[in-house]
Structure 1
Amino acid sequence: MIEIDEEIPVPALPGRVWEVVSDPGEVVSCISGAELGQSHEDGSFDGTLVVKFGAVRVRFGARVSLDLDEPEREGCLSAKGRDGQGATRFSAHATFRVREDAGGAWVHVTGEVTLAGKLASLIEAGAGAVVSRMTRDFADELVRRCAGTAEVVQPRRSSGWTRLRAWWLRIVHKRQIDPSEVRSGQAQ
């Protein structure tokens, strides 16, 4: 079993963070290798995720359901599926919550993934590094998306993580170039 317990600081208003994490399309766009598929009448949807475990790339397909409690800014995600070759089955359950903080918002995610089949031991062995990498990539993209359309709340804490995020946001915003400047030759 793979356990997940992550806290992600996001220097943006909690309402904006909730808009992103409660929208499956937005969440999937924050995860490299993830895609949304068909929606079903019961509100569930199909999804795929390609995960790299060292030199091995595994494509998982799943049926995903999402239950949201908007007033509490909480959600519960459940998924069941298998890898593309049918050798490994999994079930995953996760809860997430957006909470307000003096520096913006925090997203707390807890969950577990249960695996069975041929690749289960390989996947579980590399899970720590994969979860770490995916969480880092997801957090970076979540911060970028939340800051892109909403006012960023300046962090009041002086933690290294918060300062690093604020620095990254300043760099990203400086690098955004107006396409009309590129056409007219004004961009440098």
Structure 2
Amino acid sequence: MELNGETLIAAPRERVWAALNDPEVLAACIDGVERLERAGENRFEGTMNAKVGPVRAKFTGAVELSEIDPPNAYVISGEGKGGVAGFAKGKASVRLDDAPEGTRLTWQASSTVGGKLAQLGARLIEGTAKAYAESFFAAFKARVESGETTAEPAPVAPPETDLAEGTDETRGLPPAIWGGLVIALVAALVLWLVL
């Protein structure tokens, strides 16, 4: 699956870059995030509650930052495993450019999915990924433009149903999340590393 987009943020590039590297800001902009923390020099791990179609569950995953070029660009790669629930691997690039109105944030993401969640269908997965991406970028834009530097946790709804009886408590990030969430997690990890 391939997704891309751009957002114009009425703030200087340095402020946008700093926010992209602040895990508290990023976590506050991602619906359902319980945890987003550094797990190495360029690696981050996270846990979130998410809903993909009829399935609502807790997911965990990790991302790694590379090709870091502050305050211009970075690449984030991530992988989540969920046993019977499925797996996802994704990669995203994020670029910041000066614009007359502030900063243009451009992103491109690709992902590969498998397992039960992949069986939900490409249209549902892509729609969910787009919705997560739109939600993240709207919240991120509002936070950066307002100059907020402290983050409040995003509301977390407990999982309603399990993906499968007898599966692990630890699940990989669902495929639908990687399209939009990889961008958010990559941004969080890259920015966190730079700070």
Query: TM-score, normalised to structure 1's length?
Result: 0.69
Match of 1:40, SS state, is strand
The answer for the alignment partner of 1:157 in structure 2 is none
The answer for the alignment partner of 1:141 in structure 2 is 139
Which stretches of structure 1, 4 residues or longer, exceed 6 Å deviation after superposition?
none
Q: Is 1:122–2:120 an aligned residue pair?
A: yes
Q: Which runs of 5+ in 2 are unaligned?
A: 149-195
Q: What are the within-5 Å matches in structure 2 for residues 1-188 of structure 1?
A: 2-67=1-66, 68-71=68-71, 73-83=72-82, 86-122=84-120, 124-149=122-147
Q: Which runs of 5+ in 1 are unaligned?
A: 151-188
Tell me the percent identity. Answer: 26
Q: 1:39 to 1:135 in 2, by over 3 A?
A: closer
| C-alpha distance in structure 1 between counterparts of 2:87 and 2:130, whole Å | 22
Match of 2:49, SS state, is strand
| C-alpha distance in structure 1 between counterparts of 2:24 and 2:76, whole Å | 14
Q: 1:69 to 1:78 in 2, by over 3 A?
A: same
Matched residues, number: 147
Residue 131 of structure 1: CA displacement?
2.3
Contact 1:13–1:104 (8 Å) recurs in 2: yes
Contact 1:46–1:62 (8 Å) recurs in 2: yes
Residue 14 of structure 1: CA displacement?
1.5
Query: TM-score, normalised to structure 2's length?
Result: 0.66
1:10-38 alpha-carbon deviations (Å, 9 max, x no partner): 11112111111233332222110124345
If asked which structure has higher relative contact order (CA below 8 Å, sep 6+), I would say: 2
**Higher Rg of the two aligned structures:** 1
Match of 1:105, SS state, is strand
The answer for the alignment partner of 2:158 in structure 1 is none
